[in-house]
């Protein structure tokens, strides 16, 4: 595997990858992509320029992750709060950019054997966006390599609320509240009703732009994840920065409650 991986990386990435143990790479990486607006402001450009450049960072990061054999990569692309916190014109631009990105990247996904999935309240997105999302997902459904999950119209609190309502709906179809009282709702039950029920919890969460917060992202799933924060703004993030995060990850001792797992 190592030989085939190296041929897909540039010189800087190959040098960094050579310092890693391929057998101890994280299985699932989640990234909070932050800093598009600040990137544009530093260059006296409109915010949309940062979003456009951010799409290039998504491409480079996803390709590198797939080439080194990361099984799952989840990117925080659009939050439920974005509807209120961003101007309508910017939101409309982001929706158009998402459609353009998906249409243009399907061939890249297929070339890199990447399967595309989503988490979030996708049914609340504009219908034309949902159509393109479904088309891109179907077009990559047969790929067997890395699973790239885009968190769109996503919020961790919304996810938990939806999970609890899903549990109640399941109970209503199977004896109602009396059945629910007899059945202990444990962590496994909740996990089965989360958007990410088909995914393992992330081993590593990366946040760009230096902000030290989770921003309502995968709050349940990140309970034992390692957190890596970089000052790099998302539009400047690339495969080299991803590999730097992995090098840091492999130096740590992972702790699961009272347990410790040595990663280095």
> If you ran DSSP here, which 8-state letter would residue 199 be given?
S
Give the Å distances, CA to CA, from 248 to 217, 227, 264.
22, 10, 10
**Secondary structure (DSSP) of 142-193:** T--S-EEEEEEEE-HHHHHHHHHHHHHHHHHTTTHHHHHHHS---HHHHHHT
List residues bridging with 254 in a β-sheet.
Answer: 261
Please choose, from the candidates 189, 173, 63, 190, the residue with its C-alpha nearest in 3D space to the C-alpha of residue 114. 63
Give the C-alpha separation, 55 to 245, whole Å. Answer: 20
Q: Hunting for tokens 């988490």 — which residue is that? A: 119
Give the C-alpha separation, 188 to 186, whole Å. Answer: 5
Count other Cβ atoms within 10 Å, centred on residue 157. 11
From the DSSP assignment, how many helices (H) and strands (E) are in the chain?
A: 11, 8
Give the C-alpha separation, 18 to 110, whole Å. Answer: 26
Q: Enumerate the active-site residues.
A: 34, 82
């Amino acid at each position: 595997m190592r030989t085939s991986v190296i041929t897909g990386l540039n010189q800087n990435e190959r040098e960094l990858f050579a310092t890693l143990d391929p057998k101890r790479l994280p299985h699932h990486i989640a990234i909070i992509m932050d800093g598009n607006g600040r990137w544009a402001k530093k260059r006296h450009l409109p915010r949309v320029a940062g979003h456009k450049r951010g799409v290039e960072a998504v491409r480079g990061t996803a390709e590198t992750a797939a080439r080194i054999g990361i099984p799952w990569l989840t990117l925080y692309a659009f939050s439920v709060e974005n509807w209120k916190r961003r101007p309508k014109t910017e939101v409309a631009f982001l929706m158009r950019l998402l459609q353009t990105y998906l249409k243009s990247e399907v061939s890249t996904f297929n070339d890199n054997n990447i399967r595309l999935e989503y988490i979030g309240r996708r049914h609340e997105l504009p219908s034309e966006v949902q159509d393109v999302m479904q088309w891109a997902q179907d077009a990559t459904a047969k790929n067997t390599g890395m699973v790239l999950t885009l968190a769109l119209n996503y919020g961790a609190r919304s996810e938990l609320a939806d999970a609890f309502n899903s549990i109640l709906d399941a109970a209503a179809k199977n004896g109602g509240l009396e059945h629910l009282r007899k059945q202990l709702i444990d962590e496994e039950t909740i996990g089965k009703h989360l958007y990410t029920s088909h995914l393992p919890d992330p081993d590593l969460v990366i946040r760009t732009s230096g902000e030290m917060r989770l921003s309502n992202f995968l709050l349940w799933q990140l309970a034992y994840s390692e957190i890596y924060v970089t000052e790099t703004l998302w539009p400047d993030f690339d495969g080299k920065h991803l590999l730097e995060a992995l090098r840091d990850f492999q130096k740590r001792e992972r702790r699961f409650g009272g347990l410790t797992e040595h990663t280095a």
